[in-house]
Structure 1
Amino acid sequence: MDTAHPLAPGPHTVDVEGVAQRYHVAGSGPVCLVHSGGPGLSWEYMRMPAVEKHLTTVYVEPIGTGESGRLPSHPHGYTRERYARALDGLIAHLGVLRVHLIGHSYGGFVAQHYALTRPERLAGVVLYDSAPVTGPEQFAEAARAMEAFALRNAGRPGLQGVLDTWQSLGSLADDEGVTRAARGILPAYIADYWDREEEFAPLVSSVRGVFVSGLDEDLVPDLIDDRPSLGSFTVPTLVVVGRHDVICGPRWAGELADGIPGARLTVLEGSGHLGHIEEPEAFAAAVAAFAAETAE
């Protein structure tokens, strides 16, 4: 049993609806939860030392990954609503009236859902490399961005491996395949990967993933289209995107920022999908300023 203070630095585990919810605390300041992407990626890639200087940063290990528990229906059933219920339990455990929430990539989809359904629990939300929609339209946009990425990097020795990984994403079916694909696709997710390859090598080797199907417990796809609901947002919102993000790029960030009342948009000009690693100080400055303005 975890007997430490819920916000003491380090790892913690709390039971939420009979499932272990693991989380990690670092830094000081207003409380900010961080939800990683995938779905199925381990939380470690989201570590943000520059943000921790300004915020008590609570890194969530999404259920189904890492040392958090699995659902009885694993690898199915990990819907946005199920992740939101896990966040409900965690926030109650922390004992904080309202928190900030950063959601990255698929975690941004979760954060959007949380802001729309539980606005009273959030002081502010950061939609980081997110999008208002999934499915064929988003995939077609990503395919166009990948073509542009391939043209920009023609002649790079590792390019074909990245493109092969991209083509394999629809056939993933186990943890080993997800981990291999997450590492193989990373060069496309970083604006100038091959010019900074040595710098990013530890990240590539450390990324881990778990196969999460994207289906609910009835094996129905958990598709997303939040566009009709964006106008009903009441939570202060910061949208952050990398200029060269191939998967949730500026088009989608613009739609989010234009659709959410009062939302502000930060574009990281030298980043792809991992601006907190590619431009950590610029990312942290944007998040810290937003949190300071919206903290209670």
Structure 2
Amino acid sequence: MAHYLVTVNLSSEPDPLPSPAADPGSPLSPGAHTVAVRYGSSLIEQRYHVAGTGPVCVAHSGGPGIGWDYLRMPLLERHLTMVYIEPVGTGASGRLPDPRAYNLATYTQFLHAVIEHLALPEVALLGHSHGGFVAQRYALDHPARVASLILYDTSPVTGEEFWSAAVADMERFARRHAAGHPEVATYVAGLTARLDLLSDEGATAVLRTITPTYFFDYWGREKEFAPARGTLRMYAAPSAGEGPPFDVREELPGIAARTLVLVGEADFICGRRWARMIHEAVPGAELVVLDETGHLGHIEQPEEFATAVVAFLRSPS
């Protein structure tokens, strides 16, 4: 496990680095934007949101099917122009005609459409959880477009071993908290539920139910985290996606971008085991483990999270 200490004054003004144009017509002007993506014979709307100032960092949220809003990172927006992808099949983005097409190849295609639309030679790319799968695939398929890669609470592989480990970790979580919170007895069923058989409202209810598992100490800071829990949204259709199993372990040595692997030490689903696999395989990758943090470090430990990201992006290549 590798840690490093960095110091960045996050309360200061951002460094005078290139920022997006103030022109409201710019693809990097603050606010919501829509790109029409050619998908087969259809045009599908891809939504993205711009906030902040400084060098551009494109962020892809997780799920698949979780609304992008949870990934908002105000501290990073002081130093970076954050471009938040609203994944296809969620929110105001378009819907695919066949739910089985919500797979890694599709998400990578739509991400590429946004990056092309930004008209920048290269960007920093941050992927969280499932968004980290997309970011890894994109960095491998489009190496010239990714200057820096931040793989946040993600894994280079899924499949039976990955999910068995996640279920086992959730079962341990439930045993630890059963006395004070008997509702945790339902959490494993929620994690393994067929979300594609539910409505968006049903999938959202499942996500909100099991949310405490994604934190190191949800109930100890419940007043702080409960409002965010109540705004989480889950869209059911992306869970119906079909495609080959995700496994890029053999390809990771081919990632050319400078890479930061960032993980919460108590993340039950994409924890240190999977982060180490990426760290050991990607040439020159850095690893930061956030103490007393689960799957949502940018919410639980926002200053530590932002410090690690900003220091990495500012460090000499």
Q: TM range, normalised to the smaller chain?
A: over 0.9
* 1:234 alignment counterpart: 256
Q: Which amino acid aligns with 2:48?
A: Y
SS of 1:206 mapped into structure 2: coil
Q: Distance in 2 between matches of 1:243 and 1:10?
A: 34
Q: Is 2:243 the partner of 1:225?
A: no
CA apart distance, 1:13: 1.1
1:78 to 98, 102, 108: 102
SS of 2:150 mapped into structure 1: strand
* 1:16 alignment counterpart: 37
Q: Is 2:169 the partner of 1:145?
A: yes
What TM-score do you get using the length of structure 1 for normalisation?
0.93
After the TM superposition, which residues 8-157 of structure 1 pair with which residues of structure 2 at under 5 Å, given as runs? Answer: 8-17=29-38, 18-73=43-98, 75-157=99-181
Are 2:167 and 2:188, in contact at CA under 8 Å, matched by a contact in 1?
no
2:287 to 256, 265, 289: 265
Q: Which amino acid aligns with 1:5?
A: S
After the TM superposition, which residues 181-220 of structure 1 pair with which residues of structure 2 at under 5 Å, given as runs? Answer: 181-214=206-239, 220=242
CA apart distance, 1:165: 2.2
SS of 1:168 mapped into structure 2: coil
SS of 1:25 mapped into structure 2: strand
Q: Deviations over 1:14-70 (max 9, x none)?
A: 212111111111111110011011001100000000111111000110111100111
Q: Distance in 1 between matches of 2:225 and 2:194?
A: 22
Q: Where do 5+ consecutive residues of structure 1 fail to align? A: none
Q: Distance in 2 between matches of 1:265 and 1:56?
A: 23
Q: Distance in 2 between matches of 1:82 and 1:111?
A: 12
Q: Distance in 2 between matches of 1:188 and 1:45?
A: 15
Show structure 1 runs of 4+ deviating over 4 A. 169-172, 213-216
Q: Distance in 1 between matches of 2:149 and 2:188?
A: 33
Aligned-pair identity (%): 48
Q: Which amino acid aligns with 1:155?
A: A
* 1:251 alignment counterpart: 273
What TM-score do you get using the length of structure 2 for normalisation?
0.87
CA apart distance, 1:146: 1.2
CA apart distance, 1:167: 4.6
SS of 2:193 mapped into structure 1: helix
How many residues align structurally?
A: 290
Q: Which amino acid aligns with 2:174?
A: A
* 2:204 alignment counterpart: 179
SS of 2:308 mapped into structure 1: helix
Q: Distance in 2 between matches of 1:213 and 1:49?
A: 27
After superposing the two structures, state which structure 1 stretch, 11-20 or 145-154, moved more: 145-154
